[in-house]
Amino acid sequence: MNKSILWLIGLLFVTSLSIVSCSESDGAEDPYANWEERNQRYIDSIAVVAEANQGNEVGQWKIIRSYKLPPLGLNETGDVNDNVYCKIIWNGDGKESPIFTDSVDVHYRGQFIPLNNGSEVVFDQSYQGELDLLTSVTIGWRLKGVVVGWTTALQQMKAGDRWEIYIPYDLGYGKDLYSPYGASIAIPGYSTLIFNLTLVKVIPLKGTERSLIESLETVE
C-alpha cells in the first residue's frame, strides 16, 4: 500500500472522527439548558417592553398584578414575577369582565420561550393552525380552576378580547416539572408561559350558587 493511499485513509479517519464528535456534541446539547436563567431574562425583557408601551389600544400592553397579592403601597414597585404582561391583539365588544367564580369559553395556544436551538414548542392548544372564530371549538374553564396567571388576566378581559399574555413561572406551574391535564408535553420548572388567549364568552354562576361558593370561601 503506497503512501498516498495511507494518507487518504488517515484523512478519511480523522474526518469521520470529527463528524462523529460534532454529531455527539449536537446530540448532547440540551435545548432547555440554563432554563431558569433564560426564562428570567426573557420575562425581564418583556416587562421592560410592557412598561414602555402601556395602554388600552391594539398593540399596547397591560401589566396586571397577581390577583392573589395585595395592592402595592405608595412608592412600592413590586417584583417582575408578580405580574402578568398582556399585549392587546384585538379589543372585543364585551361589556363585563368575568369574576373569580365565573366560567369562560376561550380559544388558546400556549408555548414556551424559544429553546436553545431556536425552535418554538407549543405545549397546549384548543385549535390547530390559524384561529378561525367561525369553525374553531371553544374550551370551557372555571376561573378558579386555572393557573394564577390565567385567572389574573381573564378578570381584566371582556368578551371578544384577544391578548398575548406572558406568565412568569411563579404565576404558572412553578419550579417543578408538571404535566397539566390535556397538555401534549410536560412543563419544565421555571417556565414562562406564553399564551395567545381569546375570551369568547363569560358564563356567570347563578345568584344562589355564587352566594354559596362565596360563603364557603369566606369560611375557609
CATH number at residue 57: 3.10.50.40
| Chain segment 67-97, per-residue pLDDT in tens | 999 999 888 888 999 999 999 999 999 999 9
Residues of the chain with pLDDT under 70: 1-28, 207-220
My answer on whether 16 and 97 are in the same domain is: no
- What was the pLDDT predicted at 26? 52
My answer on whether 64 and 143 are in the same domain is: yes
My answer on whether 90 and 179 are in the same domain is: yes
My answer on whether 63 and 165 are in the same domain is: yes
Q: What is the pTM of this model?
A: 0.81
My answer on whether 109 and 1 are in the same domain is: no
Half-sphere exposure in the Cβ direction for 1 (13 Å, CA) = 6
My answer on whether 161 and 193 are in the same domain is: yes
My answer on whether 50 and 21 are in the same domain is: no
| CA gap 66, 210 in Å, rounded | 22
Residue 112's beta-bridge partner residues? none
My answer on whether 59 and 12 are in the same domain is: no
My answer on whether 70 and 159 are in the same domain is: yes
My answer on whether 152 and 92 are in the same domain is: yes
Half-sphere exposure in the Cβ direction for 107 (13 Å, CA) = 19
Number of domains in the chain: 2
Instruction: Please give the DSSP secondary-structure letter assigned to residue 57.
Output: S
Residue type at 185?
I
Which residues have CB under 8 Å from 21's CB, separation 6+? none
| Chain segment 16-30, per-residue pLDDT in tens | 334 333 434 455 578
Contact criterion met (CB below 8 Å) for 195 and 167: yes
My answer on whether 131 and 113 are in the same domain is: yes
**Hunting for cell 390577583 — which residue is that?**
67
Give the domain range for residue 16.
1-30
Q: How far apart are the first and last CA of the chain?
A: 88
Instruction: Please give the DSSP secondary-structure letter assigned to residue 113.
Output: S
Residue type at 201?
K
My answer on whether 169 and 182 are in the same domain is: yes
